Amino acid sequence: MTTTPFSQLQEPRRKAVKMIVPGEFANSARRSKACIWKGLLWHEWLAHRKLMTGTFMVWFLGVWVLQIASHPFWILILGVIYAVSAGQTFGGADVKEGSEEFSLSLPPTRAERYLVRLTLGMGTLLFFTVYGLLAIRLDLPQVAWGLFVDSGFTNPFPEIDLLHYAMAFAVPIVFFSFTFAGSALARIAKRVENVGSCSLAVLIILAALQKAWPWWWISWRTAGFTLCWALLGVSPVMLLFGYLAYVRKEGVSRPS
């Protein structure tokens, strides 16, 4: 049996190496960035698909099939539950598992990780809330059921004040922003859970505030719309703050 010298084994590989000329460098960098984004998206999907598909199932059955409640309040509840769960899961999964130091040592940068998780988490949340609210506002499930039946599931939903739609859109977004940024910046697993608890506490306070609102001072409708705008304005600020702090964050590797 003859053995091949080591130098000959290495030779073909050396020939295959392509020289990168300066003009092609930008294209190559863009391609590698796209690859990283694709890989990160795939990774996040595989890691958290149960949460997303489970919420999709509840949303689909509740909005389109059984029309559980013809009120934006139902989207608000589902949106807040998903926002708090997804914010913790997408933002603080590495911290919870105690593998953040290892994750941050991999080629994707902190900024890329943060943005990919934000895109997936916020994207799915927007899909559930916007599409769900549009379905209720425009009676889309009734239109779909109208293809097969002529009563029962085709009765239009009752008219509901626009404020409820605005609240159902704004509240889950601000909850997601707060939970996501807070979980991403957490340094121990316990703190990720605390962020979720704080979000739920804020929700209860908001609900109590709606009940005990001083009507004589300013109407709830005016205050509600102002609050929606304020919440929508605060959300990007929280996310930006989270981003700036996360890119400087030191990875932690403590067991949960």
Partner 1 sequence: MNSFEPFILILLPPIVATIVAILIICRKAAGMRPFPVHTSSKHHLVPRMICSAIGAIVLIAVGVVTWQEVQHCYISDDKGNTIVIHAPAKAIPPLPSVPKEAGPNGKVAINKTRLLCHLVIAELSPPGFRAIHAEEFEVQWPADRDKDFTKTFNLYGSKAAYSFTINSASSCQWKNRKMPTLELKGLKGGFRWERVIGRGSRSKGENSDFWASEHLCGPGTFNDPPNRLLSVAAGPSWNWHVFSFMTQVAEDDPLKEIPLAEFIRIRQDEMHRMAQRDIAMWRPFYQEVERIAGANRAFCPGFSLMVFIGISALFLLGAAIMISQVFSRRDRGLAFAGILTGVVLYVAVLDRMTLSIHLSHLTDPQAPLRDRLMACYQVPHTFFYRNKALREVEIIAKDPSIPEPLHNLARKTAILLKSG
Pairwise CA distance, residues 253 & 151, whole Å: 58
- 189: helix, strand or coil: helix
CB of 62 to partner 1, least distance (A): 8
CB of 35 to partner 1, least distance (A): 17
Residue where the block lists tokens 């003009």: 23
Assess 241 for contact with partner 1 (CB under 8 A): no
Assess 66 for contact with partner 1 (CB under 8 A): yes
Assess 29 for contact with partner 1 (CB under 8 A): no
Which x/- pattern over 174-213 shows residues binding partner 1 (rule: CB under 8 A)? ----------------------------------------
Size of the site for partner 1 (CB under 8 A): 25
In terms of Cα–Cα distance, which of 88, 90, 109, 104 is closest to 33?
Answer: 109
| Among positions 35, 57, 162, 240, the unique one binding partner 1 when judged by CB under 8 A | 57
The secondary structure of 115-181 as a DSSP string is HHHHHHHHHHHHHHHHHHHHHHHTTHHHHHHTTT-SSSS-SPPPP--HHHHHHHHHHHHHHHHHHHH
CB of 127 to partner 1, least distance (A): 15
Q: Which is nearer to partner 1, 156 or 236 (CB)?
A: 156
Judge contact between 83 and 235, C-beta under 8 A: no
Assess 60 for contact with partner 1 (CB under 8 A): yes
Report the amino acid identity of residue 241: F
Judge contact between 185 and 242, C-beta under 8 A: yes
Q: Which is nearer to partner 1, 22 or 152 (CB)?
A: 152
Pairwise CA distance, residues 251 & 214, whole Å: 46
Stretch that binds partner 1, among 59-67, 98-106, 128-136, 233-241 (CB under 8 A): 59-67
Which x/- pattern over 128-167 shows residues binding partner 1 (rule: CB under 8 A)? --------------------xxxxxx-x-xx---------
Take residue 66 and report the two structure tokens written for it. 């059984």
| Among positions 40, 44, 48, 67, the unique one binding partner 1 when judged by CB under 8 A | 67
Report the amino acid identity of residue 67: Q
Q: What residues line the site for partner 1 (CB under 8 A)?
A: 49-50, 53-54, 56-57, 60-61, 64-71, 148-153, 155, 157-158
